[in-house]
Structure 1
Amino acid sequence: MALATDLDLDQLVGRARRLVVPGRRRILGVGGPPGAGKSTLAGELVGRLGGEAVLVPMDGFHLANAELRRLGRAERKGAPDTFDAAGYVALLRRLRSPDPGTVVYAPDFDRTLEEAVAGSIAIDPRVPLVVTEGNYLLHDDGPWQQVRDLVDEVWYLQIDDSERVRRLVERHVRHGKDRSHAERWVKESDEVNARLVAPARMRADLVISGARSG
């Protein structure tokens, strides 16, 4: 199990840059519980690496809200079975072995719409590093268990739980929930998922501690 470390952004960028090998595709995963700052860190890494990296979030594989309602899972949105995990695995396989001259298009997640949007992210085959982030990169159940072998490194973010919960509530408020609904959602959904994710840290290559903007 990786020991927790508090590396700064420059050090993390340096570690990510070591994965960049021209002519060879590598994938870096950023995992951790909801609200840990995964999307922020992943975006910063890709921004600092410029054209050498592209960001492909796991959240693009959220099932549509209509499908979640049909399945009776709308109140558990964000749980492992509310994603197209097999679709995410299939995309990672394509990204590991890019076809020369073929751009792969990946979905993204629109937090304003609360829906995934297909074909949002273009991944050129010449880009050497894909950075992907999400809660379940280290989850070991169902199709999720295949993710770990498709990713060259996975970093796990952990921060103080009270700060993480505060961030989650504020995020839900920013995106349209009233505060009481946001607090209830965090307690009954996000924190259930956080407890599910936590044991997976032992499978990470690097555990990053300390608060980052989320």
Structure 2
Amino acid sequence: MIVTPVSDPRQLAALLPRATDGSRFLLGIVGAPGAGKSTVAEAVVGLDTAAYASVPMDGFHLADQALRTLGLLDRKGTPETFDAHGYAALLSRLHGRPDHVLYAPAFERTLEQPLANALPVPPSSTLIVTEGNYLLLDAPGWREARDRLDEVWFIDVDPDVRRARLIARHVLFGKTPAAAEEWVRRVDEPNADLVAATRDRADRVLDLSGWQPARP
């Protein structure tokens, strides 16, 4: 495992895996809630928007209707509230690089719901970037997803910065400051501990202490 300080998005270009035979690479970006995974994924895709595509893990959130049925709505965001097997299946299809567009789900934060078939991935995409909390989790579904990824980066960031970012994000999307702090304490931080335990399974650790993402 390699630890790499990253302070500028342009540094990411030198770290990307390179295909030598025209094949497609799948790059996973993992980290605790609020670590900056989406920011890094967007920066990578922004290096070549014609050839790179993003398929976030969050599109595989179970809808609130399913979570109510399962009694998991108050634990939304934990590993069991995702369709891990469906995620692994899509990664497998993406890795095969079919000769037609594949459509992936997205997660709409304003609605707090997944949106089916929202992200088109054309056959011309040579690098697929997928980011999420549980890409390195040793559990059914998640193991299969990891097997589909060619390389995984783990995002390291100061925990206080990460928690403040999370609280601000929850407030932005409708929670009161008190409710946001409670959610971070009760749900996000236990998830962060679970994710931190998978750090050593990553191919590379990115130290983002010198790069502060703009989003909360």
TM-score, scaled to structure 2: 0.94
User: Counterpart of 1:205?
Assistant: 203
Instruction: Return the offset for 1:98.
Output: 2.0
User: Counterpart of 1:10?
Assistant: 10
Instruction: Return the offset for 1:21.
Output: 5.0
Q: For residues 82-121 of structure 1, what are the structure 2 equivalents within 5 Å?
A: 82-100=81-99, 102-121=100-119
Question: Cα deviations across residues 116-162 of structure 1 (Å, max 9, x unaligned)?
Answer: 00010001112111000000111111110112221111000011111
User: Do the aligned partners of 2:85 and 2:145 also contact (CA within 8 Å) in 1?
Assistant: no
Q: For residues 19-168 of structure 1, what are the structure 2 equivalents within 5 Å?
A: 19-21=18-20, 23-100=22-99, 102-168=100-166
Instruction: Return the offset for 1:22.
Output: 6.9
Deviates more, 1:139-148 or 1:59-68: 139-148
Instruction: Return the offset for 1:20.
Output: 4.8
Instruction: Return the offset for 1:206.
Output: 0.6
User: Do the aligned partners of 1:23 and 1:126 also contact (CA within 8 Å) in 2?
Assistant: no
User: Do the aligned partners of 2:25 and 2:127 also contact (CA within 8 Å) in 1?
Assistant: yes
Instruction: Provide the rounded CA distance (Å) in 2 between the counterparts of 1:210 and 1:99.
Output: 35
Structure 2, unaligned runs of 5 or more = none
- Identity, % of aligned pairs? 47
Instruction: Provide the rounded CA distance (Å) in 1 between the counterparts of 2:15 and 2:160.
Output: 29
CA change 1:80–1:29 in 2 (3 A) is same
User: Counterpart of 1:189?
Assistant: 187
Instruction: Provide the rounded CA distance (Å) in 2 between the counterparts of 1:13 and 1:176.
Output: 36
**Stretches (4+) displaced over 6 A:** none
User: Do the aligned partners of 2:2 and 2:203 also contact (CA within 8 Å) in 1?
Assistant: no
User: Do the aligned partners of 1:106 and 1:120 also contact (CA within 8 Å) in 2?
Assistant: yes
Instruction: Provide the rounded CA distance (Å) in 1 between the counterparts of 2:2 and 2:91.
Output: 27
Counting matched residue pairs gives: 211
Instruction: Return the offset for 1:7.
Output: 2.6
Question: Letter of the aligned partner of 1:210 in structure 2?
Answer: L
Instruction: Provide the rounded CA distance (Å) in 1 between the counterparts of 2:180 and 2:6.
Output: 31
Root mean square deviation, CA, Å: 1.3
Structure 1, unaligned runs of 5 or more = none
User: Do the aligned partners of 2:134 and 2:142 also contact (CA within 8 Å) in 1?
Assistant: yes
Question: Letter of the aligned partner of 1:115 in structure 2?
Answer: Q
